[in-house]
Amino acid sequence: MITLDKLKIYKYYGGDIDGWARLKQSNQKITDEDWHLIDSLLEDLLLVEKGVTSNQYAIDVNKKLLDYLDDDSSISYLKSLVGKV
């Protein structure tokens, strides 16, 4: 499950998984799988934002957000990262 804390860690490292792997602190609780999921969701959201997807793809992306993120504040925060990280 992707939480707001995990998204903030992702943003702190600018989406750079190698930087996180080298410099992470023990209190930063995020896995490689979480990191890749965030990457994937951001890519999906960017495609939807650019309008290069079908309506069904956009619906599927929104379903993924509900399935993989813990609450609405995490979804909003993730959407705020689109194209910025």
Q: Report if pTM > 0.85.
A: yes
DSSP 3-state percent helix, strand, coil across the chain (nearest 5):
70, 0, 30
Residue carrying the six token digits 């994937």: 40
The pLDDT-based confidence of 6 (bands split at 50, 70, 90) is: very high
Q: Where are the domains of the chain?
A: 4-81
**Which residue type occupies 45?**
L
Q: Give SS3 for 22.
A: helix
pLDDT in tens, 20-50: 999 988 899 999 999 999 999 999 999 999 9
What is the H or E stretch that residue 73 is in? Answer: helix 72-81
From the CB of residue 43, how many other CB atoms can be counted at a distance below 10 Å? Answer: 12
